[in-house]
Structure 1
Amino acid sequence: MMDDRNALFSHQTFARAIEFIWREAELLDRRDYREWLELWDPAGYYVVPIDPNTTDYAATLNYAYDNQDMREKRVQRMTSGYSASASDAARTVRTVSRFTLASDSADMVEVKSSQIVIAYKRGVSTIFAADLTHKISMASGEPRLVEKVIRLIDSTEALSAIGFLL
């Protein structure tokens, strides 16, 4: 009987995590960056590594390695109207799928998935594809992002037009 309860808990936690990830994607597509910030645990990290195999983000070069302060500054730049990324921001549509439960416990769940982002700006559509890893804390009762790692499939190439959050 205990195994059934654990399996049910795990399934419910996984389902909540997927809904949370879809909500995050929706907020980003709507450019609701202020509400997106509310999804984060204060100690969390938003990471877009260049090296597709790195796990030591602090010791390697990244497109983004944002703690709470850097996430807030990035959102401020994007919403201020003074930067190119704010005044001429791309419209985006995200599809997040291929969810895999990497690990879970009573307090933390790790979900791997894939993401396709279509960004439209000045008559041009650009595709960004990535493998994602979300570490989501369930400790407070409300899911909170502890870490989001976006591994772009072309991260080692010269990238342009990333004037939005992935």
Structure 2
Amino acid sequence: MDDTNALFMQPAFAKAVQFIWREAELLDRKDYRAWLELWSSDGFYVVPIDPAATDFATTLNYVYDDRHMRALRVQRLSSGYSPSVTDAARTVRTVSRFTISSDSADTVDVRSAQVVVAYKRGVATLFAADVEHRINLSDGEPRIEQKVVRLIDSTDALSAIGFLL
């Protein structure tokens, strides 16, 4: 058995990976209200500009959302009033290359690779990223405590990233 198979034999890791796949599906279906329910109340969603950033509160980010800001983002994406929403891209996410970076009784940190294909007005755009999820498993239902999406081209000029990564 290789290391990947051994990881999936660990219940916490397997549960976290299934949870991450569920999150990707919810985002592709634009079920943003259900996506909000995946989060712990004090969780942060971060898309940093600097690929080496670790102190997200003191650096410039594309996204640095706490609970309130996530709710506002979902409201904007769901309202139909924003120009970027009325003609929103259709997306398909592939999440793979899962590794565990830390594991405790209550929390698991999982790193993965994500490719998002966004299709809008006859054009497909790729977004590739290294993603870090910190998932709390203590209450029986997994909850995201932190999600960091490190786009591989984060220091370039980016457009059309109004949807959730």
Query: Is the CA contact (8 Å cut-off) linking 2:7 and 2:13 kept in structure 1?
Result: no
| Change over 3 Å in CA distance of 1:10–1:146 after alignment to 2 | farther
The equivalent of 1:92 in structure 2 is 91
Instruction: For residue 145 of structure 1, give the secondary structure of its aligned residue in structure 2.
Output: strand
Query: Is the CA contact (8 Å cut-off) linking 1:10 and 1:104 kept in structure 2?
Result: no
The equivalent of 1:75 in structure 2 is 74
Code of the residue aligned with 1:148 in structure 2: it is K
The equivalent of 1:22 in structure 2 is 21
Instruction: For residue 79 of structure 1, give the secondary structure of its aligned residue in structure 2.
Output: helix
Question: Structure 1, residues 70-93: CA drift from partner, whole Å, max 9, x if none?
Answer: 000000000000002211110000
| Change over 3 Å in CA distance of 1:8–1:165 after alignment to 2 | closer
Code of the residue aligned with 2:160 in structure 1: it is A
Count of equivalent residues: 160
The equivalent of 2:3 in structure 1 is none
| TM-score computed with the length of structure 1 as normaliser | 0.94
Task: Give me the whole-angstrom Cα distance separating, in 2, the residues matched to 1:9 and 1:151.
Answer: 24
Instruction: For residue 16 of structure 2, give the secondary structure of its aligned residue in structure 1.
Output: helix
Task: Give me the whole-angstrom Cα distance separating, in 1, the residues matched to 2:58 and 2:83.
Answer: 29
Query: Is the CA contact (8 Å cut-off) linking 2:131 and 2:148 kept in structure 1?
Result: yes
Query: Is the CA contact (8 Å cut-off) linking 2:46 and 2:148 kept in structure 1?
Result: yes
Instruction: For residue 11 of structure 2, give the secondary structure of its aligned residue in structure 1.
Output: helix
Query: Is the CA contact (8 Å cut-off) linking 1:136 and 1:146 kept in structure 2?
Result: yes
Please list every run of 5 or more consecutive structure 2 residues that lacks an aligned counterpart in the other structure: 1-5
Query: Is the CA contact (8 Å cut-off) linking 1:114 and 1:130 kept in structure 2?
Result: yes
The equivalent of 2:127 in structure 1 is 128
Please list every run of 5 or more consecutive structure 1 residues that lacks an aligned counterpart in the other structure: 1-6
The equivalent of 2:54 in structure 1 is 55
TM-aligned CA deviation for residue 8 of structure 1:
9.1
TM-aligned CA deviation for residue 10 of structure 1:
7.6
| TM-score computed with the length of structure 2 as normaliser | 0.94
Query: Is the CA contact (8 Å cut-off) linking 2:8 and 2:14 kept in structure 1?
Result: no
Q: Kindly, what percent of the aligned residue pairs are identical?
A: 69
TM-aligned CA deviation for residue 9 of structure 1:
10
The equivalent of 1:140 in structure 2 is 139
Task: Give me the whole-angstrom Cα distance separating, in 2, the residues matched to 1:135 and 1:147.
Answer: 5
Instruction: For residue 10 of structure 2, give the secondary structure of its aligned residue in structure 1.
Output: helix
The equivalent of 2:35 in structure 1 is 36
The equivalent of 1:150 in structure 2 is 149
Task: Give me the whole-angstrom Cα distance separating, in 2, the residues matched to 1:45 and 1:25.
Answer: 17
The equivalent of 1:3 in structure 2 is none
The equivalent of 1:160 in structure 2 is 159
| Change over 3 Å in CA distance of 1:8–1:65 after alignment to 2 | closer
Code of the residue aligned with 2:130 in structure 1: it is D
